[in-house]
Amino acid sequence: MKPWELSRRDFMRGSVGLAAYTLASHPLAATAMEAIGEEEVIPFLEAQPIGKMLQWQKLTRWVTPTEDVYEVKHYGRPTSKPDPWQVEFTGYLKKPHLFTVPELQKRKHKSLYATLECGGNGSSKNFMGAIGNVKWTGTPLGPILRELGLGNRSREVVFYGADEKIEKIRDNDYPQHFARSLPLEHALEDDVLLAWAMNDEPLNEMHGAPVRLIVPGWFGIAWVKWLTRVDVLDRRFMGRWMAREYVTIRGEDRPGSQMNWRETSVCNIDVKSIAARVVKTGPGRYRVSGAAWSDGTPITKVELKIDDGSWAPVTVEKKPVASKYTWCFWHYDWVNPAPGEHSLVSRATDADGRVQPASEDSEIKNKRTYWESNQQWPQRVRLG
């Protein structure tokens, strides 16, 4: 066993969240996704996610089992690993330092629930399951940075993974480790973690073992896996995955002016929802259920449109665990629908007034890259 590996017994002995996790990870009475009597799931007519992604119509748990959480690799899994594994803190710090994984684990740690979503999730019908709701446990980053002494010029924090590749930059080849950055004030927030456990199990290699950065409310591209270095800079970091990739190009309509094409970095999660399942609960009775999520801004409303009808409010379920960064489940009881095909589409609204857009809205229509695809996705069913 490596020094950073934990047995389940060792981890659970120090865990304070077992009861909450047990409650959250199994079907709950009266929740949107719970089986109701002798349920009959009505399949959607459109193509659904393929590959290792969340299968929405099979979703019955508020917490996504680890084996069902998607995986994205940009430079592949690391081929060489330090032994022992260490996380190096460098840059504009008064006391640069190396931490082994056991040293990080001995520090004060915390658990939180947060939804992990790929920045491209929803870009097509086949790629709309790159998401999962997970319990993460790790060491808060902010106290470490403060203890090591931030310099007067400290402005930005860059996170490097062990995965690497040769990149061509301005016609020259440079070895590069995968890296993303956060503004210093964000890196100091209480919920940014150096995680070493996932769903009350030691983090596995696929999901970034032994240490992964957790940035609740941001897309998964920012959650650097196989973390080896935390570097504090005095200026903006502009690596490939901040400045050239995961950049959204979107047209801004300005009346009487030429279209302004704006480039923005893929960072915080957009407001979003999906109709996930349709279940027949009895003669002439169906339950439509789904999920809604955002960057931590509370979801204030979810609505459902059936065919060409008006938007109707749905029942938003109370989360089994208090966490601002997780999805919520919702349901709508559909009574005596006509036989035949029907279209179902949901939209969510958050406390900042952001409304999940339709595909014809300028926010989506004028987008030229596939990231941040939070448009409403209609689903079709056929009832007998």
The answer to whether the CB of 320 falls within 8 A of the CB of 135 is no
Instruction: Report which of 241, 222, 219, 227 is spatially closest to residue 116, judged by C-alpha positions.
Output: 219
pLDDT, residue 257, reads 83
Query: How many residues belong to the chain?
Result: 384
Q: Which residue has the tokens 């330092």?
A: 97
Say which CATH class 272-383 falls into: mainly beta
Separation CA 195–CA 139 (nearest Å): 6
pLDDT value of residue 39: 76
- Residue 193 CB partners (closer than 8 Å, separation 6+): 110, 112, 136, 137, 138, 139, 140, 141, 213, 214
Return per-residue pLDDT of the chain as tens, 384 residues: 343 344 444 434 444 444 444 445 544 334 555 544 457 999 999 888 878 899 999 988 999 999 999 999 999 999 888 889 999 999 999 999 999 999 999 999 999 999 999 999 999 988 999 999 999 999 999 999 999 999 999 999 999 999 999 999 999 999 999 999 999 999 999 999 999 999 999 999 999 999 999 999 999 999 999 999 999 999 999 999 999 999 999 999 888 888 999 999 999 999 999 999 999 999 999 999 999 999 999 999 999 999 999 999 999 999 999 899 999 999 999 999 999 999 999 999 999 999 999 999 999 999 999 999 999 999 999 998
| Angle 121-302-52 from CA coordinates, rounded to 5° | 25
| Count of Cβ atoms closer than 10 Å to residue 130 Cβ | 24
CB atoms closer than 10 angstroms to residue 51? 10
Strand order in the sheet with 315-316: 40-41, 272-282, 285-293, 328-335, 315-316
Coil/strand/helix, residue 90: strand
The whole-model pTM stands at 0.90
For residue 43, CA distances in Å to 32, 188, 197, 316, 340 come to 17, 45, 35, 23, 13
What pLDDT shows up at residue 3? 34
Cα(203)–Cα(196) distance, integer angstroms:
5
Phi-psi region for residue 371, left (φ > 0), alpha (ψ -120 to 50) or beta?
A: beta
Instruction: State how far the Cα of 315 lies from the Cα of 310, in Å rounded to an integer.
Output: 16
